[in-house]
A and B are shown apart, each in its own frame.
Chain A
Amino acid sequence: MKPDSFEAPDYYNLDDLLSDEHKLVRDAARQWVKREVSPIIEDYAQKAEFPHQILNGLAEIGAFGPYIPEEYGGAGLDQISYGLIMQEIERGDSGVRSTASVQSSLVMYPIYTYGSEEQKKKFLPKLASGELMGCFGLTEPNHGSNPGGMETKFKDGGDHYLLNGAKLWISNSPFADIAVVWAKNEEGRIHGLIIERDMEGFSTPETHNKWSLRASATGELIFDNVKVPKENLLPNKSGLGAPLGCLDSARYGISWGAIGAAMDCYDTALRYAKERVQFGKPIAAFQLQQKKLAEMITEITKAQLLSFRLGQLKNEGKATSAQISMAKRNNVDMALKIAREARQMLGGMGITGEYSIMRHMMNLESVVTYEGTHDIHLLITGADITGIPAFN
């Protein structure tokens, strides 16, 4: 693979809106990705393996729960710092960013927000340091966009709960030490439970042959009469709103992450177009290619403004789920389109692993589907502005 000579575009001087600490955090993540992710990621994606050796580094740059307070092992940073870290990691690879999103927003966030003091003390510091890795089980074979219909359920077994069911498409499941699992109790109410790797009846088979997020491990969670200690139930919130709250946090991070992938594709295409000569000119001299590049930087700039403003709203505790849906949907779609255009601009070279674009393009096919599909987010905006839900 080519050496990583990425230079981040900043067409509207957005850096001026960032604090010195934001920039320090972002630049550290950027430098780390250049040093530790870019040189190896293509190889791992080709092999369809997760690069376990980077977990320590991810923890060190603060990718695991950066906004969790220091007393629980987090960095106590704001939401914009979280977004910037996700942007830089996804600039490297969406699969690596997925691991960080899951750990931060889908495992640490629910334990921090819905967990008991004992659960927070027991799990959060180890999750922040990467000593424990987690996964999040919501989607099931028969319930994807409609998680409220989930079939996984638990019964009161006296001194424990008895959990049965199966989850599918779970990022990090093959190696996770713990899983935050959403299941219905006997009254049909959704609760979160912390399942630990060594519990009897719990298995996590890996899903193979993906063409997307190949450097991320995806698998199932199977619960066959798993006895879960009662203290592993998240006590402070139940109902579908609980897992959806986690998704809000993750989706916000994804809106930034997608910008990272788009920036990488744009930067690669711009550099290539200035160097590649056809018909006696660099291809960047042709109007058709300029149109692509000009539209890319315009869309990236718009996406940056959406995420930045959303970050401010999140910092103030004012961002709504519908606002987050808009940014996730817009930015991932923008990145996917840019990846497809950028791939064409590289001609035949665009399909090889010499360049990151095709990997980003394939990764983004998952990103546009998980954490709420492109269609579902549109329905969320539609329901928000009309007041009429059109889901069913």
Chain B
Amino acid sequence: MKILVCISNVPDTTSKINFTDGDTKFDTNGVQFVINPNDEFGLTRAMWFKEKQGATVHIATVGDASVEPTMRKALAIGADEGIRINAVPTDGFFVAEQLANVIKDGGYDLVIAGRESIDYNGGMVPGILASLLGMNFVNTCISLEVDGSTATAVREIDGGKEKVQAELPLVIGGQKGLVEESDLKIPNMRGIMMARKKALNVVEPVDATKATVDSKFEKPAPKGAVKLTDSVDELVSLLHNEAKVI
């Protein structure tokens, strides 16, 4: 089985978020980047397929050279080979088209993407990707088994779970549940050393549509000061007159 894990390079959740260029660009200054958490769950599940079922695991990221440390980490965790599509990811359509282009002739049985990327939370890439590739698609996947050419996946649905079967090749949008947080792998020294020698191939992007344009980002209003009160009457009056919520 040949697996491709799509890895998005995202700001660490503790980063302080700022924008530049008239609030149209994310300011990457001083920001630590990490493997998108949903993709890390997927990568860890892929490692399980590698260990238990002899799968080969490639990773792909659309990004400029600055994404390479994140990709090296994925290689240190155990992916066999990396493909970097040398373009700044601009929107979900663009990213999906770039990924589709390297996946289509790559002979992959399973494409594991994340349900959403925690940077821009578009949640678009895996669906568009499946459609561009004409592959089956299971989103919000919390469990995945493969037996021969059939995958059995469990999806999270409102208030419950849905078990589905699909034939390979398949694209999934994965999330926590594929593996648990405690299963996530810390790269060990042997892995880091082996990653030095693994191929990280850079391919040039294809012409692709950028379907959306960012006109402005806004940060949520900062939290105001908290008022403490012991009196119920004052509380009601504050909620009515100041907060205007009742």
Does the CB pair A76–B193 fall under 8 Å?
A: yes
For A21, give its contact among B30, B186, B192 (CB under 8 Å). Answer: B192
Any A CB within 8 A of the CB of B123: no
Please measure, in the bound complex, the distance between the C-alpha atom of A348 and the C-alpha atom of B193, giving whole angstroms. Answer: 46
Does the CB pair B189–A66 fall under 8 Å?
A: yes
Does the CB pair B189–A70 fall under 8 Å?
A: no
Any B CB within 8 A of the CB of A156: no
Q: Mark A30-41, 1 if CB is under 8 A from B, else 0.
A: 011001000000
Please measure, in the bound complex, the distance between the C-alpha atom of A20 and the C-alpha atom of B68, giving whole angstroms. Answer: 9
Please measure, in the bound complex, the distance between the C-alpha atom of A20 and the C-alpha atom of B32, giving whole angstroms. Answer: 12
For A75, give its contact among B14, B30, B73, B193 (CB under 8 Å). Answer: B193
Please measure, in the bound complex, the distance between the C-alpha atom of A35 and the C-alpha atom of B181, giving whole angstroms. Answer: 11
Does the CB pair B14–A24 fall under 8 Å?
A: no
- The smallest beta-carbon distance between A8 and chain B, in angstroms, is 10
Does the CB pair B72–A60 fall under 8 Å?
A: no
> Across the interface, which residues of B come within 8 angstroms of A274, CB to CB?
none
Given contacts A13-B30, A62-B192, A70-B193, is CB(A24)–CB(B69) below 8 Å? yes
Any B CB within 8 A of the CB of A313: no
Chain A: CB-nearest residue to B77: A28
Please measure, in the bound complex, the distance between the C-alpha atom of A130 and the C-alpha atom of B238, giving whole angstroms. Answer: 63
> Across the interface, which residues of B come within 8 angstroms of A27, CB to CB?
73
Please measure, in the bound complex, the distance between the C-alpha atom of A196 and the C-alpha atom of B62, giving whole angstroms. Answer: 54
> Across the interface, which residues of A come within 8 angstroms of B69, CB to CB?
20, 23-24
Any B CB within 8 A of the CB of A378: no
Please measure, in the bound complex, the distance between the C-alpha atom of A35 and the C-alpha atom of B193, giving whole angstroms. Answer: 22
Which B residues between 60 and 101 are near A, CB-CB below 8 angstroms? Answer: 68-69, 72-73, 76
- The smallest beta-carbon distance between A23 and chain B, in angstroms, is 7
Please measure, in the bound complex, the distance between the C-alpha atom of A211 and the C-alpha atom of B34, giving whole angstroms. Answer: 39
> Across the interface, which residues of B come within 8 angstroms of A24, CB to CB?
69, 72-73, 76, 187, 192
- The smallest beta-carbon distance between B194 and chain A, in angstroms, is 11
User: What is the size category of the interface that chain B forms with chain A?
Assistant: 10 to 19
Does the CB pair B14–A7 fall under 8 Å?
A: yes
Chain A: CB-nearest residue to B76: A24
Please measure, in the bound complex, the distance between the C-alpha atom of A7 and the C-alpha atom of B190, giving whole angstroms. Answer: 26
Given contacts A7-B14, A24-B192, A75-B193, is CB(A61)–CB(B72) below 8 Å? no
Please measure, in the bound complex, the distance between the C-alpha atom of A310 and the C-alpha atom of B239, giving whole angstroms. Answer: 60
- The smallest beta-carbon distance between B75 and chain A, in angstroms, is 10
- The smallest beta-carbon distance between A325 and chain B, in angstroms, is 29
> Across the interface, which residues of B come within 8 angstroms of A20, CB to CB?
68-69, 72
> Across the interface, which residues of A come within 8 angstroms of B186, CB to CB?
28, 31-32, 35, 61
Any B CB within 8 A of the CB of A25: yes
Please measure, in the bound complex, the distance between the C-alpha atom of A35 and the C-alpha atom of B69, giving whole angstroms. Answer: 22
Does the CB pair A25–B192 fall under 8 Å?
A: yes
Most buried by B among A20, A28, A70: A28
Given contacts A7-B14, A62-B192, A75-B193, is CB(A28)–CB(B187) below 8 Å? yes
- The smallest beta-carbon distance between A389 and chain B, in angstroms, is 41
Which A residues between 1 and 48 are near B, CB-CB below 8 angstroms? Answer: 7, 13, 20-21, 23-25, 27-28, 31-32, 35
- The smallest beta-carbon distance between A276 and chain B, in angstroms, is 15
Which B residues between 11 and 42 are near A, CB-CB below 8 angstroms? Answer: 14, 30
Does the CB pair B76–A75 fall under 8 Å?
A: no
Which B residues between 141 and 156 are near A, CB-CB below 8 angstroms? Answer: none
Which B residues between 170 and 210 are near A, CB-CB below 8 angstroms? Answer: 186-190, 192-193, 196
Chain B: CB-nearest residue to A60: B188
> Across the interface, which residues of A come within 8 angstroms of B30, CB to CB?
13
Please measure, in the bound complex, the distance between the C-alpha atom of A25 and the C-alpha atom of B188, giving whole angstroms. Answer: 8
For A28, give its contact among B14, B68, B188, B196 (CB under 8 Å). Answer: B188
Does the CB pair B189–A62 fall under 8 Å?
A: yes
Please measure, in the bound complex, the distance between the C-alpha atom of A24 and the C-alpha atom of B190, giving whole angstroms. Answer: 12
Please measure, in the bound complex, the distance between the C-alpha atom of A75 and the C-alpha atom of B189, giving whole angstroms. Answer: 7
Given contacts A7-B14, A20-B69, A20-B72, is CB(A28)–CB(B192) below 8 Å? yes
Please measure, in the bound complex, the distance between the C-alpha atom of A20 and the C-alpha atom of B65, giving whole angstroms. Answer: 12
- The smallest beta-carbon distance between A235 and chain B, in angstroms, is 29
Please measure, in the bound complex, the distance between the C-alpha atom of A13 and the C-alpha atom of B29, giving whole angstroms. Answer: 10
Please measure, in the bound complex, the distance between the C-alpha atom of A20 and the C-alpha atom of B30, giving whole angstroms. Answer: 15
- The smallest beta-carbon distance between B17 and chain A, in angstroms, is 15
Please measure, in the bound complex, the distance between the C-alpha atom of A62 and the C-alpha atom of B30, giving whole angstroms. Answer: 27
> Across the interface, which residues of B come within 8 angstroms of A28, CB to CB?
76, 186-189, 192
> Across the interface, which residues of B come within 8 angstroms of A70, CB to CB?
193
Please measure, in the bound complex, the distance between the C-alpha atom of A387 and the C-alpha atom of B206, giving whole angstroms. Answer: 68
Q: Mark A45-72, 1 if CB is under 8 A from B, else 0.
A: 0000000000000001110001000100
Does the CB pair B189–A60 fall under 8 Å?
A: yes
> Across the interface, which residues of B come within 8 angstroms of A61, CB to CB?
186, 188-189
Which A residues between 269 and 307 are near B, CB-CB below 8 angstroms? Answer: none
> Across the interface, which residues of A come within 8 angstroms of B189, CB to CB?
25, 28, 60-62, 66, 75
> Across the interface, which residues of A come within 8 angstroms of B68, CB to CB?
20
Please measure, in the bound complex, the distance between the C-alpha atom of A13 and the C-alpha atom of B32, giving whole angstroms. Answer: 12
- The smallest beta-carbon distance between B123 and chain A, in angstroms, is 27
Please measure, in the bound complex, the distance between the C-alpha atom of A20 and the C-alpha atom of B187, giving whole angstroms. Answer: 14
> Across the interface, which residues of A come within 8 angstroms of B14, CB to CB?
7
Provide a sorted-by-A list of 5 A–B residue pairs whose CB atoms are within 8 angstroms: A20-B69, A28-B189, A62-B188, A75-B189, A76-B193
- Give me 9 other A-B pairs in contact (C-beta within 8 A), A21-B196, A32-B186, A61-B189 excluded: A20-B69, A20-B72, A28-B76, A28-B188, A35-B186, A60-B189, A60-B190, A66-B189, A70-B193
